């Protein structure tokens, strides 16, 4: 009886195992599917790499010991038509040109260091210049071990001006506001410390720089330009985000280029103190941004004067993530004591995001009111942006 029970148990165990284990045909079929999947992945990878024949393609390989190396850049091809909406287009005729054409190499090391070297092939100029030469735009080495205090040394943006600190490829309008161009200082050579604290609700950026502008290895004096900007995010939900910012800048200049203020030769010598506030609210498809900037000029010779400006921008996605309309009003006063010199303008436009910011078409119409101008201040700007 015990033998019969044992035989029956073994028989049942063999039957169960036979039912669970796949047959030889099933295993061969699964193996064939895996081989086909690998072959497809291999073919897709060859296509992505441009491998068309038996000869392997030439690949760019890092020669250093960095853990990651990347190459990228972007192009902003532009066409402009009409009159001078503000002094930036004084004497500029209808034209086609590249507003920016940049390429960069960047990378990082496992020891928490990173680097970037960016070249601008068009000189990053909106003026009607000829013979533009390629020049360094943003170059730095950085240490990022602590997110609360990331240190960078090189040619970087000054820590002043909310719109100025925004990326060139993410702006709602084709050009920044006139007050931003006149009252902020752009990239300088120096070092920055920045990071996020208090559960990422507060971010900051502090810079100490030469204050001479881009591609200048000298310092005009023994002093340094000092700037700082702080962001506070009180609201960050799926539907709403509010970011409030404030910044300051102080510097002593010797022959600094400052156009638009009626200075002799557009050069300023003396000290400058600046401050500004900005705010942005994103609510679903709607985005509102506003900024106010103020500069106090204390010339080495001559009377002290102040300049200020503000702008308010509203952008709304008519088609989610694809078609965006915008309107902006701005004012700039180069001397708050002198009357009748305030410049005003309205901008209306539409953006078509073919593939986010990677491939975007933009159209802006700017109507400006420039004191002393006898011509219509309307100007049409068009842009095609490609990131790679």
Q: What pLDDT, in 10s, does the model give residues 137-169?
A: 999 999 999 999 999 999 999 999 999 999 999
For residue range 201-256, what is the model confidence (pLDDT) as tens digits? 999 999 999 999 898 888 988 899 999 999 999 999 999 999 999 999 999 999 99
The residue-averaged pLDDT of 274-287 equals: 98
Q: How many whole angstroms separate alpha carbon 172 and alpha carbon 324?
A: 9
Give buried/exposed letters for 245-264 (b at 16+ CB in 10 A, else e): bebebbbbbeebebbbeebe
Largest CA distance in the chain: 120
For 58-103, the DSSP string reads P----SSS-SEEEEEEEEEEEEEEES-SSGGGTT--SEEEEEEEEE
Query: Measuring CA to CA, which residue among 299, 238, 236 is closest to residue 263?
Result: 299
pLDDT single digits (tens) 62-104: 777 888 899 999 999 999 999 999 999 998 999 999 999 999 9
Query: How far, in Å, CA of 20 to CA of 380, rounded?
Result: 73
- Are 274 and 294 in contact by the 8 Å Cβ rule? The answer is yes
Per the CB < 8 A criterion, the answer to whether 333 and 360 are in contact is no
pLDDT value, residue 13: 52
Which of 22-36, 268-282, 284-298 bottoms out in mean pLDDT, i.e. has the lowest?
Answer: 22-36
How far apart CA 267 and CA 263 sit, in angstroms, is 6
What gap in Å lies between CA 325 and CA 172, rounded to an integer?
9
Instruction: With a cut of 90, say whether residue 32 has pLDDT above it.
Output: no
How far is residue 350's CA from residue 342's CA, in Å, rounded to a whole number? 27
pLDDT value at position 1?
A: 47
pLDDT at 7 > cutoff 70:
no
Band of residue 134 on the pLDDT scale cut at 50, 70, 90:
confident
pTM of this prediction?
Answer: 0.84
Provide the phi-psi class of 160: left if phi over 0, else alpha when psi is between -120 and 50, else beta: beta
Secondary structure tally for the chain: helices H, strands E: 4, 16
Write out the two tokens for 356: 């986010």
Distance, CA of 309 to CA of 276 (rounded, Å):
10
According to DSSP, the β-strands at 359-369 and 378-387 are antiparallel
Left (φ > 0), alpha (ψ -120 to 50) or beta: where does 165 sit?
Answer: alpha
- Quick: pLDDT tens for 169-214: 999 999 999 999 999 999 999 999 999 999 999 999 999 999 998 9
- Tell me the pLDDT band of 271, cut-offs 50, 70 and 90: very high
- Which residues share a beta bridge with 240? 283
- Averaged over 360-369, what is the pLDDT? 97
The band of 375, judged by pLDDT with boundaries at 50, 70 and 90, is: confident
Report how far apart, in Å, the C-alpha atoms of 124 and of each of 99, 100, 129, 135, 266 are: 6, 5, 11, 9, 19
pLDDT for 14 beyond 60: no
- pLDDT at site 54: 64
Alpha carbon 37 to its chain's center: 39
């Amino acid at each position: 009886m015990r033998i019969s029970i044992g035989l029956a148990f073994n028989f049942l165990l063999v039957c169960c195992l036979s039912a669970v284990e796949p047959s030889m045909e099933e295993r061969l079929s699964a193996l064939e599917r895996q081989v086909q999947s690998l072959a497809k992945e291999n073919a897709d990878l060859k296509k992505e790499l441009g491998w068309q024949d038996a000869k392997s393609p030439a690949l760019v390989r890092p020669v250093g010991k960095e853990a990651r190396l990347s190459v990228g850049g972007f192009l902003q091809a532009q066409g402009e038509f009409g009159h001078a909406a503000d002094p930036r287009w004084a004497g500029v005729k209808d034209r086609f040109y590249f507003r920016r054409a940049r390429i960069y190499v960047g990378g990082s090391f496992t020891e928490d260091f990173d680097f970037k070297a960016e070249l601008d092939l068009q000189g990053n100029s909106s003026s009607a210049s000829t013979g533009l030469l390629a020049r360094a735009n943003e170059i730095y080495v950085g240490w990022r071990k602590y997110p609360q205090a990331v240190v960078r040394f090189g040619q970087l943006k000054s820590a002043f001006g909310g719109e100025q600190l925004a990326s060139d490829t993410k702006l709602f309008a084709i050009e920044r506001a006139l007050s931003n161009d006149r009252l902020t200082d752009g990239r300088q050579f120096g070092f920055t410390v920045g990071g996020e604290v208090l559960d990422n609700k507060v971010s900051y950026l502090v810079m100490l720089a030469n204050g001479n502008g881009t591609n200048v290895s000298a310092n005009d004096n023994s002093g340094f330009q000092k700037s700082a900007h702080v962001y506070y995010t009180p609201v960050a939900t799926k539907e709403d985000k509010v970011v409030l910012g404030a910044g300051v800048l102080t510097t002593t200049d010797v022959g600094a280029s400052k156009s638009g203020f009626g200075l002799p030769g557009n050069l300023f010598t003396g000290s400058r103190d600046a401050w500004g506030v900005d705010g942005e609210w994103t609510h679903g498809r709607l985005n509102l941004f506003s900024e106010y900037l103020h500069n106090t000029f204390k010339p080495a010779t001559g009377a002290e004067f102040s300049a200020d400006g503000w702008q308010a921008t509203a952008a709304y996605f008519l088609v989610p993530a694809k078609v965006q309309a915008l309107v902006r009003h701005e004012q700039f006063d180069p001397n708050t004591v002198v009357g009748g010199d305030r410049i005003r303008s309205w901008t209306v436009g539409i953006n078509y995001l073919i593939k986010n910011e990677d491939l975007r078409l933009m159209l802006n119409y700017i109507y400006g009111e420039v004191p002393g101008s006898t011509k219509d201040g309307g100007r049409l700007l068009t842009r095609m942006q490609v990131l790679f």
